[in-house]
Amino acid sequence: MKVAVLDINGKDTGRKVELSKEVFGIEPNNHAIYLDVKQYLANQRQGTHKAKERADITGSTRKIKKQKGTGTARAGSIKSPIFRGGGRIFGPRPRSYSFKLNKNLKHLARKSALSIQAKENNLMIIEDFTFESPKTKNFTDVLKALELGSKKSLFVLTESNNNVYLSSRNLKSSKVVNNSGLNTYSILNAGKVVISESSLEEINNKLSK
């Protein structure tokens, strides 16, 4: 499958690149996608939630009434969960939500996501570019030229380009990542995936193994 290479002005450069069938033309594995997205979202959770349980409450441990003869239930402490201001029963504790996935499964998930976007014609290949200085206007001009506007877009570059990244940081609908930061969730969450020429070569080499 060949795709035309565009420049940052949205014009055809006359060159075409080959999209590897092993990366952009496979049958998507939905379960692999589910697991990889689940892991990504789980890793975003801080896991710092904490509620005070009975042992964490500050208060007297004096028995608040006699054991028998009151006509009500027995009560040993004001910190009991059944009283207002008492501790919570089985409250949340700090924990990590992350879990491990095999590298081959993660590669399969990313290839599946790229294949879905390729099948739906949501992939664009542009020549490598950079900015002399970080300016949001420079990046918005590129978006307009590529007819992306306010659409959700993901730009994949070979290496971290600080000027391009800083130029896009104020735009909620656009995200710039390098190859190492590419993940299944970002690919599927984007309306258009824009990949630079050199980045495409690295993706083909890495995921086709």
| The pLDDT value given to residue 113 | 96
Query: Could you tell me which residues come within 8 angstroms of residue 74 by beta carbon, excluding any fewer than 6 positions away?
Result: 67, 68
Q: CA of 71: how far to CAs of 34, 116, 157, in Å? A: 56, 68, 74
Q: What is the mean pLDDT of residues 40-56?
A: 94
Strand 12-18 versus strand 174-178 pairing type = unpaired
Alpha-carbon distance of 114 to 25, in angstroms, equals 8
pTM: 0.82
| Biggest distance spanned by C-alpha atoms of the chain | 94
Q: Find out whether 64 and 77 touch, Cβ atoms under 8 Å.
A: yes
19: which 2 tokens?
Answer: 């999209």
pLDDT confidence band for 10 (50 / 70 / 90)? confident
d(CA 146, CA 190): 15
Q: Give the pLDDT score at 182.
A: 92
> Per-residue confidence at 186, pLDDT binned at 50, 70, 90?
very high
> Mean pLDDT in the chain?
91
Question: How confident is residue 2, by pLDDT bands cut at 50, 70 and 90?
Answer: confident
| Chain centroid, CA 107 distance in Å | 15
Strand order across the 2-6 sheet: 12-18, 2-6, 123-126, 192-196, 153-157, 174-178
Domain 2-45+98-207 has CATH 1.10.340.30: no
pLDDT of residue 180: 87
pLDDT of 26 over the 90 cut: yes
Closest Cα partner for 37 from 186, 203, 181, 190?
Answer: 186
Beta strands (DSSP E) in the chain are 2-6, 12-18, 123-126, 153-157, 174-178, 192-196
Tell which residue, 138, 201, 134, has the closest CA to residue 161: 134
**Helix, strand, or coil (residue 39):** helix
SS3 123: strand
Q: Quick one: CA torsion of 28, 29, 34, 36, rounded to 10 degrees?
A: -90
Q: Where in the chain is the domain with CATH 3.40.1370.10?
A: 2-45+98-207
Structure confidence at residue 192 (pLDDT):
93
pLDDT tens profile 116-157: 999 999 999 999 888 888 999 999 999 999 998 888 999 999
Give the three-state DSSP class for 74: coil
